[in-house]
A and B are shown apart, each in its own frame.
Chain A
Amino acid sequence: MEQTRREFLKTTALSGAVILLSRYDLWGSEAYAGQAIKAADWQAGPGKARFRIDGFAKVTGQKIYARDFRARDLPGWPQEEQVVYILRATFSDHVFEGIDLSELPEELKPQKIVTQEDLQRDGIHIAETNYPEGMYLVPKGSAPDHLGQPVALLFFKDLQTMKAARSQLMFELDPIKKGAAITLPKDYVYQPETSIIHIVKEGPEPYEKRVKFAQTKGGPVHPEEPGKRNAEAMLGVELIDGKLKSGNWTLTQGTYTTQLIDPMFMEPESGLGWLDQKQKTLHLLIGTQSPQDDANTAAELFKDLEGRFKVETIDFTSCYLGGGFGGRDTSIFCVYLSLAAAYAEGPVRIIYDRFEQFQSGIKRHPATMDMTLATDNKGQFQALRTHAVLNGGGRPNLSKYVAQVAGLNATGPYDFPLADILSQAVHTRSLGAGSMRGYGASMLAFAIESSVDEAARSLKMDAIDLRQRNVLHPGWAISTGAPKAPPGLDEMCKKARGHRLWSHREQLKKTESKGDIAFGVGFAITMKNYGTGADAIFNNVAIDPLGQITVTTHAVDMGNGSATTLALSTAAILGANATSVKLGEIDLFKQLDMVESFEPQPQNPRWTPLLFMSSKAATTSSRWVHSVEQSSHVLFETGLFPTAQSLWGKKGDTLKTASVHWHDGHLIAPGLRPLSLKEIAAKAHADQRITAVMNHAFFSAKWVEGDYSIDGVTQRRPVDGLAIRRGQGTHYEIVDRKNPQLMTVESMWEGNGQTFGASACLVAVTVNRKTGEIKVVEGVHYLAPGKVLQREMVEGQMDGAFAMGVGHALLENLPAFEDGPTTGRWNLDRYHVALAGDSALGKIEKVILSPESETAPARGIAEVVLNPVAPAIANAVTHAIEVRFRDLPITAEKVRNALDKSRS
Chain B
Amino acid sequence: METMTLELTLNNQRLVRDNVDPDLKLNDLLREDLGMTGTKFGCGIAVCRACTVAVQRVPGGHLEPVRTCTTPVSAVQGKIVTTVEGLAQEGELHPLQKAFLEHFSFQCGYSAPGFLMASFCLLDKLKRSPIPKDKIDEAILDAVGQHVCRCTGYVRYYEAIRDVILATPGLVTSS
Contact = CB atoms under 8 A, between A and B. Distances in A.
Interface string B133-154: 0000100010011111111111
Chain B interface, DSSP helix/strand/loop, else mixed? loop
Interface residues of B, number: 59
A59 B150 contact: no
Given A268-B41, A796-B152, A37 B106 contact: no
A354 B84 CA distance: 22
Given A265-B108, A354-B43, A37 B93 contact: yes
A836 B91 contact: no
Contacts of B85: 60-61
Nearest to B50: A266
B112 A265 contact: no
A59 B109 contact: yes
A59 B149 contact: no
B83 to A, nearest CB: 7
Given A60-B84, A70-B35, A558-B108, A800 B101 contact: no
B107 A800 contact: yes
A679 interface: no
A442 to B, nearest CB: 15
B28 A160 contact: yes
Contact of A792 (B35, B104, B137): B104
B67 interface: no
Nearest to A559: B108
Given A321-B108, A558-B108, A799-B156, A827 B44 contact: yes
A55 B153 contact: no
Interface string B107-118: 111111100100
B18 interface: no
B45 A837 contact: no
B145 A836 contact: yes
A801 B153 contact: yes
Contact of A799 (B42, B48, B137, B155): B155
B112 A837 contact: no
Contacts of B97: 59-60
B115 to A, nearest CB: 10
Interface in B70-113: 83-85, 87-88, 91-93, 97-98, 100-104, 106-113
A60 B97 CA distance: 8
A792 B92 CA distance: 24
B167 interface: no
A51 B101 contact: yes
A575 interface: no
A263 B38 CA distance: 23
Interface in B15-33: 21, 24, 28, 31-32
A55 B110 CA distance: 11
B38 A62 contact: yes
**Interface class of chain A by DSSP:** loop
Given A60-B85, A265-B150, A559-B151, A159 B28 contact: yes
Contacts of B68: none
A835 interface: yes
Contacts of B102: 50-51
A842 interface: yes
A266 B145 contact: no
A58 B93 contact: no
Nearest to A792: B104
Contact of B92 (A38, A72, A561): A38
B45 A55 contact: no
Contacts of A802: 153
A672 interface: no
A629 interface: no
Contact of B158 (A38, A70, A561, A841): A841
Contacts of A836: 141, 144-145, 147, 154, 158
A387 interface: no
B38 A61 contact: yes
Contact of A68 (B37, B83, B107, B158): B37
A325 interface: yes
Contacts of A558: 108
Given A559-B151, A833-B150, A837-B145, A63 B37 contact: yes
B58 interface: no
Contacts of A321: 108
Given A61-B113, A266-B42, A800 B104 contact: no
A558 B108 CA distance: 6
Given A55-B100, A266-B148, 15 more contacts: A50-B101, A60-B87, A67-B40, A68-B37, A266-B48, A266-B108, A266-B110, A267-B40, A324-B108, A795-B155, A800-B151, A836-B154, A841-B155, A842-B137, A844-B155
Interface of B: 21, 24, 28, 31-32, 35-45, 47-48, 50, 83-85, 87-88, 91-93, 97-98, 100-104, 106-113, 116, 137, 141, 144-156, 158
17 contacts: A59-B97, A59-B106, A61-B113, A63-B37, A68-B31, A72-B35, A267-B108, A268-B42, A322-B109, A323-B150, A325-B150, A560-B107, A792-B103, A800-B107, A803-B153, A833-B148, A835-B147
